[in-house]
Amino acid sequence: MDAAKEIFKKHQAQTFPTPSCLEIKSAKGSYITDVEGKQYLDFVAGVSACTLGHSNSIITNAVKKQLNKYSHVMVYGEYVQNPQYKLAELLAKNLPTSLNTTYFTNSGTEAIEGAMKLAKRATGRSEIISCKNSYHGSTQGSLSIMGNERKKANYRPLLPSCNQIHFNDDSTLANITNKTAAVVIEPIQGASGFISPENNFLLNVKKKCAETGTLLIFDEIQTCYGRLGTLFGFECYNVIPDILCLAKGMGAGMPIGAFISSNKLMNLLTFEPSLGHITTFGGHPVNCAASLACLEHLISTEIINDIEEKERLFRANLIHSKIKEIRGKGLMLAIELDDESLVRKVVDKSLEKGLILFYFLFTDTAIRITPPLTISDNDIIKGCKIIKSILDE
C-alpha cells in the first residue's frame, strides 16, 4: 500500500471495510483524475452533490470572490450578509409563498433536525412519522426516523415517539393521527434504490396531514436543485410541503443545507425560547455564494429543461438482458440487477475501466447513477457502454 493510502487507513476514521481508496489529484467537469493521471468518468457526483460538475468556474469564481471579501464573521442569523440574504431571497422567488423563509444549515441531517424541532414547536406534539426504508441523515434525530432498523439498532435508545408508514401504501396512512407533529418523507426514496411515488401517494399523505393538523416535511436533500428535471422535486408531484429540507446539490460541491417554511412558522424559533436553533457555521457566506451562483445558473440556462432528455438517453443506452429495471427520475437513476455479486462486479470493474458508480445504503442489488447535471450526451453514452460491456462478460 502506498504511503498516502496507509495514512488514510491509519489516521482517518473508516466507515467501510473496503473503501475504493481512489487517490484524487484533481477533478473537472464530469471527470476525476487520480494521482497516476488516470481519468474517471463520474456517474456519482459526490453522491448527488456536484450539481454543475467538478471545479465549475461559476462556482470557483463565486467562492474565490466571496473569500476575498469575507469568510466567517458571526454565528447564524446575527449579521446581514449579502450571500445569505440574496440566496434566501432567490429561493423565496422560486418557491410558493408558503415557503418564503429559509434557515441555512451545514448539512442535510442538520436541516432535518431543524425541521423536526420546528414541527414539534409549531404543533406542540412529539410524534414524528417517517417511511420504512427512508434515510434522512446520520445524527441522532435523523437516525431516529431512519426506516432501517439494522442500521440503527446499535445506537439505541434514540428519540421516542418515532413511528412509520410504508412508502406507496395508503393503508398505513391511518398511523398519521392528531398526535403526529410531522411526517418526514422523501419525494423519491433514496437509500432503498430510488423508489418513486405511485398512485398519488404523496398527495394522499398531504391530505391525511391536512386532516390531522400534521405538518408535512419533504426531505429534498437529494432531489433539489434540478436533479429530477424541476428545480425542486415537489413540483413533479404537485404537492407543496409545509417544510422543505435541502442540501447536497444545493451547494454545488460546497457544504450547505436548509430548512424552509413560512415566515409565520419560522418565527417560532425566535421566542420561548429565543435562539430556537443555533449553528455557528450554518449558512457560511462562502457556501451561500456557491449555492447562489449555482441557483442563478440553473434558473438562467437550459440545464434543468435538458434533464428529461438526458434521462431518456440513459434509459435508451441501458437496455440489457441483465438489467431488470431502471428506477428513479431525471438524473437520479437506479439500475436494478437483482444480483448482489453482479452489482459488486459492475461497480469494481467499472472503476478499472474508468467509470465511477456507487452503491445504495439499503439495497445490495442496485447501482446508483447520479451524475453532474451538466454531463454531456457523449459521456452518458460512453459510461453506459462500459456498464454493458461488463454485463456482457
**Residues in the site for ligand PLP, rule: CB under 6 A?**
107-109, 135-137, 186, 190, 219, 221-222, 247, 257
Alpha-carbon gap, residue 191 to 135, rounded angstroms: 6
Q: What does the CA dihedral 308, 186, 143, 295 come to, rounded to 10 degrees?
A: 60
- Output the smallest distance, CB 105 to ligand PLP, in A: 9
Alpha-carbon gap, residue 40 to 246, rounded angstroms: 28
* Smaller CB separation from ligand PLP, 371 or 386: 371
Is 250 buried (19+), middle (13-18) or exposed (0-12) by CB count in 10 A?
Answer: buried
Half-sphere exposure of 173 (CA within 13 A, CB side): 20
- Output the smallest distance, CB 44 to ligand PLP, in A: 12
Residue nearest to ligand PLP (CB): 108
- Output the smallest distance, CB 156 to ligand PLP, in A: 20
* Smaller CB separation from ligand PLP, 180 or 222: 222
* Smaller CB separation from ligand PLP, 249 or 383: 249
Alpha-carbon gap, residue 335 to 369, rounded angstroms: 8
Q: Is 42 helix (H, G, I), strand (E, B) or coil?
A: strand
* Smaller CB separation from ligand PLP, 181 or 217: 217
Cell 434566501 -> residue: 88
* Smaller CB separation from ligand PLP, 195 or 384: 195
What is the phi-psi region of residue 253: left when phi exceeds 0, alpha when psi lies from -120 to 50, beta otherwise? left
- Output the smallest distance, CB 301 to ligand PLP, in A: 25
* Smaller CB separation from ligand PLP, 180 or 370: 370
List CB contacts of 383: < 8 A, sequence separation 6 or more: 41, 43, 355, 371
| 148 touches 135 (CB < 8 A) | yes
Q: What does the CA dihedral 324, 226, 114, 273 come to, rounded to 10 degrees?
A: -160
* Smaller CB separation from ligand PLP, 187 or 229: 187
- Output the smallest distance, CB 212 to ligand PLP, in A: 24
- Output the smallest distance, CB 243 to ligand PLP, in A: 13
- Output the smallest distance, CB 109 to ligand PLP, in A: 3
Alpha-carbon gap, residue 154 to 271, rounded angstroms: 36
- Output the smallest distance, CB 361 to ligand PLP, in A: 8
Nearest to 277 by CA among 135, 130, 119: 119
DSSP string, 124-182: S--EEEEETT----SSHHHHHT-S-HHHHGGG-S--SSEEEE-TT-GGGGGG--TTEEE
Alpha-carbon gap, residue 131 to 167, rounded angstroms: 6
Strands 101-105, 257-261: parallel, antiparallel or unpaired by DSSP? antiparallel
- Output the smallest distance, CB 106 to ligand PLP, in A: 8
* Smaller CB separation from ligand PLP, 110 or 311: 110
* Smaller CB separation from ligand PLP, 108 or 285: 108
